Amino acid sequence: MSQDMSEENLPDRPAHEGGSQVATAENPFADPGFPAHQPRRQDIDEKAARSSERTVAFLFTVSMLATLGFIASFVVIPIDKIVYIWPLGHISALNFALGMTLGVSLFAIGAGAVHWARTLMSDVEVADDRHAIAASPEVRAKVMAEFATGTGESQIGRRKLIRNTMLGALTLVPLSGVFLLRDLGPLPEDKLRHTLWSKGRLLINQNTNKPLRPEDVAVGSLTFAVPEGLEEEQHDYQEQLAKAALMIVRIQPNDIKDKKSRDWAHQGILAFSKICTHVGCPISLYEQQTHHVLCPCHQSTFDLSDGARVIFGPAGHALPQLHISVNGEGYLEALGDFEEPVGPAFWERG
Ligand code: FES
């Protein structure tokens, strides 16, 4: 294709005539141009075109209904309702309904637009040579004329059913975002103050599902634990797991700088909440030389050898520590619940 930059050379011919050049001494590569345009069934059969129009309108209508379903779900489904959905397991009914309806709403708009473009809009190929960025008034007038032509070819003026349903779908879909603002409340109040941890509850290795003994925790390793009695089948499993998830490390006792931390540890084994105090991501990256853990979401870094205080990043509080010991049978156990709220509970801490 020519790289001529002058505005006079903008193509003003039907594209299927465009580009064809024979090979010359200066330009040895022949350009065959565009193949002849093949009309689609909808181009020659108004009945087929009407059928495509109805399909597009149907998809836009589905989008509208899905958006209304999104809003209805938001209003009707309780925030703490859990349902079992195969193969996802126990999940929040509200999150599932919102995800499904918003997904269908956006997908139906996209599918409607694609079907419209493929069956009814002009499919004549066009060529447009490169030209100067600043357009002259003549070029702008020409663009506006081409826009008007394109609008005519899209049949948006003629196909009022498509136009009206598309406008309906595009008008309704932003409402989903407005309704999501409800998630800014209500505050969790004291819900993050209490977890399943209590005096005498064993620490269960989250990978093996077995109670942990001190000898299972090697210096330099990072182990994840959950409270004894937390079962996947229970209806609030996800909520309880999210609050009680524990991160266990073993540090040489002499390397533990914070006195309370040392007192709450057992032979250098420290147990901290795994939930970041910034906005609640699970922490998982441990650097054994420095005893730092890093939250992957916004890089908050906590020093586990110094009471898990924040040494970098946006988190505002140290990770809550769990007071642990060993029971008569040699298993690690909790000596109570966390003393402060887990997760991003800045609104409760004053
Ligand atoms: S959630 Fe951990 S740093 Fe933001």
Distances in Å between the Cα of 318 and the Cα atoms of 240, 257, 290 are: 21, 14, 16
Cis peptide before 211 (omega within 30 of 0): no
Counting ligand 1 atoms within 8 A of each CB, the residue from 295, 317, 319 with the most, and so the one to mutate, is 295
Write out residues with Cβ below 6 Å of ligand 1. Answer: 276, 278-281, 295, 297-298, 300, 313-315
DSSP state, residue 85: E
Closest approach atom of ligand 1 to CA 315? 3
Alpha-carbon radius of gyration of the chain = 32
Q: How many CA atoms lie within 13 A of 35 on its CB side?
A: 3
pLDDT for the residue numbered 321: 96
**How far apart (Å, rounded) are the C-alpha atoms in residues 336 and 327?**
13
- φ, ψ (nearest 5 deg) of residue 79: -65, -25
Closest approach atom of ligand 1 to CA 281? 1
Q: Give 236-258 pLDDT, tens digit per residue.
A: 888 899 999 999 999 998 899 98
Q: Give 81-118 pLDDT, tens digit per residue.
A: 889 988 888 889 999 999 999 999 999 999 999 999 99
Segments of the chain assigned E as strands: 82-85, 89-92, 203-205, 222-227, 246-250, 269-273, 285-287, 292-294, 301-303, 309-312, 321-322, 324-326, 332-334
Residue keyed to tokens 């084994």? 269
Task: Calculate how far, in angstroms, residue 251's C-alpha sits from the geometric centre of ligand 1.
Answer: 24
Counting ligand 1 atoms within 8 A of each CB, the residue from 281, 284, 293, 342 with the most, and so the one to mutate, is 281
pLDDT for the residue numbered 20: 60
Six-digit token string for 71: 């809003």
Counting ligand 1 atoms within 8 A of each CB, the residue from 247, 272, 276 with the most, and so the one to mutate, is 276
Q: Please give the single-letter amino acid code of residue 103.
A: G
Task: Calculate how far, in angstroms, residue 313's C-alpha sits from the geometric centre of ligand 1.
Answer: 8
Task: Calculate how far, in angstroms, residue 186's C-alpha sits from the geometric centre of ligand 1.
Answer: 21
Task: Calculate how far, in angstroms, residue 274's C-alpha sits from the geometric centre of ligand 1.
Answer: 11
Which segments in the chain show pLDDT lower than 70?
1-21, 345-350
**How far apart (Å, rounded) are the C-alpha atoms in residues 226 and 211?**
10
Counting ligand 1 atoms within 8 A of each CB, the residue from 298, 310, 319 with the most, and so the one to mutate, is 298
Task: Calculate how far, in angstroms, residue 28's C-alpha sits from the geometric centre of ligand 1.
Answer: 61
Closest approach atom of ligand 1 to CA 344? 1
**How far apart (Å, rounded) are the C-alpha atoms in residues 287 and 294?**
8
Six-digit token string for 222: 């990072």
Closest approach atom of ligand 1 to CA 279? 1
Closest approach atom of ligand 1 to CA 299? 3
Per residue in 280-319, is it b (16+ CB within 10 Å) or e — as a string?
bbbbeebeeeebbbbbebeebbbbbbbbbbbeebebebbb
Residue keyed to tokens 């050049």? 21
Domains located in the chain, CATH noted? 7-184 (no CATH), 203-349 (2.102.10.10)
